[in-house]
Amino acid sequence: MKKCIEFLDGISHKINNILQSDNFAVEVMPDYLREEVKRYPLAGGKKLRPALLAASCGILGGKPEKFLEFATAVEIWHNWTLVHDDIIDCDTFRRNQPTAHCRLAEVAATKFDLSKADAFKYGENMAILCGDLQINWAYNLIIKGQQKSKISADLTLDIIRKIQQFGAIKLISGEAVDVELAVKKLENITPAEVMKMIDGKTSALFQCSCEIGGALALGTFDDFRIQLLSDFAQALGRAFQLQDDLLGIFGDVNKFGKNIGSDLREGKPTILLLKTLQSASCEEKAFILGCIGEKDLQLSQIEEVKRIMISSDAYEFVNNEVQYYLQRAKEYLNELPENNYNDILHELLEYLVNRNK
Amino acid sequence: MKKCIEFLDGISHKINNILQSDNFAVEVMPDYLREEVKRYPLAGGKKLRPALLAASCGILGGKPEKFLEFATAVEIWHNWTLVHDDIIDCDTFRRNQPTAHCRLAEVAATKFDLSKADAFKYGENMAILCGDLQINWAYNLIIKGQQKSKISADLTLDIIRKIQQFGAIKLISGEAVDVELAVKKLENITPAEVMKMIDGKTSALFQCSCEIGGALALGTFDDFRIQLLSDFAQALGRAFQLQDDLLGIFGDVNKFGKNIGSDLREGKPTILLLKTLQSASCEEKAFILGCIGEKDLQLSQIEEVKRIMISSDAYEFVNNEVQYYLQRAKEYLNELPENNYNDILHELLEYLVNRNK
């Protein structure tokens, strides 16, 4: 694991330097909006997408150091989706800090002496604009990357097309389907729909990052190795998300704390939950549905749900899926050149999928 | 006026054709979000920004017909700002149709049997994503325009930079300042702040459209005539917006109906209102402040406010400003080549600033 952790740390450090010195937002007004545009990206996170871009570049013989602006662009892309997603989900905390709309609401409450409701609306309004700025910042970093790395303007336009295909159409559709699934009745949701959502919300930007990294190394997207990188990234995204769903209920309570059971409490339509409801007995089904929306979910209730998930074979089904996509991802990597970056991606895969098990 | 009206109609027609046939959103899910991405732009509007782009191209000897995708891009840019702005302002109608978030809320209420509050939140969530898609659509149209018109990839990247400078930084800052002004006390707002907001919210995209049109004709932004077009557009934006503020209270009630007085009712910090409050007597000031927030504002009250605005010389001040910027805009045009497109821009200026007087 050492190589991959060092690589992630190194990328984080370099991306943070670019984020700190970048002048995109320097003329943004008011000042607290300008600060908010940079706060999220600088607040932490694994910088996973930049790492995927850099390693994909390296695996095909490119020099990742030359393309840090592109790596920063995919991180900013990820960030605007978080800012808008947090408004959508009414989330209040991320990365141990208030979410963008909550922070901006705090600013407004202090600065303009607003009521709580007015400050909340103000925070949401500003956070919509914050995400809008970040979308444009990501595009701007791509243009800056071209200037600095001297790649052709044509390849730059291809990179922009790639961002639009994966980062806009697929990713935003994934978000929208997620919004829709949240209001649908669980019995009307199919596992295929959930997988489509995972492909959009998680895999699309992984794929985009890997493809761009590879294309920066080769000078073109038109190469079978770019497709291998993309397939690797899709399998990684699926394994990662399905594992996340498992950890959401089977994870170590000492590590995940209150988050254990929160998917269940919110009735999040995971494949794990849908499969369980399909195979469980009527009584078991009623028990699980009773847990949804339960504010004070007890550990004993979670234990019972875990038992049902195991006895209904849903746990095994999802676990098999995780292992299947993990295996697929490894196979794609094995078809790519063997080198230090390939080792790093193998480690990253294990690190992300088997983390905190 | 005939030339300019015909020109606007012609542009509208061509832009609508492109909007209808464009395939950007074809894979967006769910289907009602995909439809919403196109509905606003197709719902009407003067297509003013595309017309400015096309005429600015023509005035410098370019063929506007070759660059319709770029003209469509600035229209879509305008549209995403409307979609997000309508969420921010809680507006329910635009172009005689429900705003995006209201339409999407209606869809949700019917399709998922949601409560009114849940459907409203659902509509807002989807409309945030709708605007996000439209930002990317605008960028996508620029890339398509490059492919079709065969302009250089380098010029295309310059166009993207221009969009970022004016359409993102300046415009979004203008929006944000507008959000801020709405919660500030009127006595703490200066006319300079309001002008800054006008420059961002209105002039920036006019300038961007004119500069891009000119650069498409010349193959570069680096020419004094591009600056003349930009200065023309800024003066036009200021004259247009200040005139709009005058019409908001002095306009013909038969033409503007309920909208007369709505700026006053909402306490919108226009330069007209700020100047009036500066010069009015204590009693007059109290009378005007009493009208703000008044749901059933009477025509007699509006008449009294008009009287105060005139006697305090605020009306004359703003009217002089309108005439000043109108004159400046004409002077810039007069320094540009005399041709049919120059005539069209002169007419457009009169049409926009002296409309419905």
Q: Which ipTM did the prediction report?
A: 0.97
pLDDT of residue A256: 72
Mean of pLDDT over chain B: 95
Task: Inform me whether the pLDDT recorded for B275 exceeds 90.
Answer: yes
Using CB atoms, pick whichever of B30, B156, B179 lies closest to residue A126: B179
Residue B215 has pLDDT above 80, yes or no: yes
Is there a contact between A112 and B29 if contact means CB atoms under 8 Å apart?
Answer: no
pLDDT of residue A257: 66
Token pair, residue B65, equals 């017909």
- Identify the domain containing residue B60 by its residue range: 2-353
pLDDT of residue A122: 98
- Number of structural domains chain B divides into: 1
The pTM is what?
0.97
Evaluate the omega torsion of the peptide bond into residue A64 and state whether it is cis, within 30 degrees of 0: no
Which tokens sit at A102? 């909550």
Q: Quote the pLDDT of residue A329.
A: 98
Q: How high is the mean pLDDT of chain A? A: 95
The whole-angstrom separation of Cα A265 and Cα A259 is 10
Q: For residue range B144-203, list pLDDT tens digits in order.
A: 999 999 999 999 999 999 999 999 999 999 999 999 999 999 999 999 999 999 999 999
Helices (H) and strands (E) in chain A, counts: 18, 2
Of residues B164, B172, B173, nearest to A139 (C-beta): B164
Q: What percent of chain B has pLDDT over 70?
A: 99
pLDDT at B337 over 90: yes
**pLDDT > 90: what percent of chain B?**
90
Which of A24, A124, A172 should we substitute to test contact with B (largest number of B Cβ atoms within 10 Å)? A172
**Predicted pLDDT at B258:** 65
Kindly state the DSSP code that residue A151 receives in the 8-state scheme. -
pLDDT tens digits, one per residue of A1-40: 789 999 999 999 999 999 999 999 999 999 999 999 999 8
Q: Measured between beta carbons, which residues in chain A are less than 8 angstroms from residue B156?
A: 153, 157
Judge whether residue B357 has pLDDT over 60. no
Residue A247 has pLDDT above 60, yes or no: yes
**pLDDT average, residue stretch A208-233:** 98
In the predicted model, what is the mean pLDDT of residues B60-83?
Answer: 98
Binary contact (B28, A136; C-beta < 8 A): no
Centroid of chain to Cα A183 = 22
- Residue A231, pLDDT above cutoff 70: yes
CB contact (8 A) between residue A179 and residue B126: yes
CB A104 within 8 A of CB A130: yes
Mean pLDDT value across residues B74-88? 98
pLDDT for B99: 96
Would you say B212 and B70 are in contact if contact means Cβ atoms under 8 Å apart? Answer: yes
pLDDT at A95 over 90: no
Task: Report, as an integer, the average pLDDT of A159-168.
Answer: 98
Instruction: Give me the mean pLDDT over the B114-136 stretch.
Output: 97
At B265, which CATH number? Answer: 1.10.600.10
Kindly determine whether residue A176 and residue B84, on different chains, have CB atoms separated by under 8 Å.
no
Amino acid of residue B186: L
Q: Write down how long chain A is.
A: 357
pLDDT value of position B277: 95
Q: Is B93 helix (H, G, I), strand (E, B) or coil?
A: strand
Q: How many CA atoms lie within 13 A of A184 on its CB side?
A: 18
**Which pair of tokens denotes residue B43?**
């719902």
Q: How many beta-carbon pairs below 8 A join chains A and B?
A: 149
Task: Please state, in angstroms and rounded to a whole number, the distance separating the CA atoms of residues A212 and A220.
Answer: 9
A96: its two tokens: 């141990």
- pLDDT band at residue B356 using 50, 70 and 90 as cut-offs: low
Report CB contact under 8 Å: B30, A131: no
**What was the pLDDT predicted at A255?**
77
- Give the tens place of pLDDT for each residue, B31-41: 999 999 999 89
Q: Which pLDDT value is given to residue A96?
A: 84
Cis amide prior to B30 (ω within 30 degrees):
yes
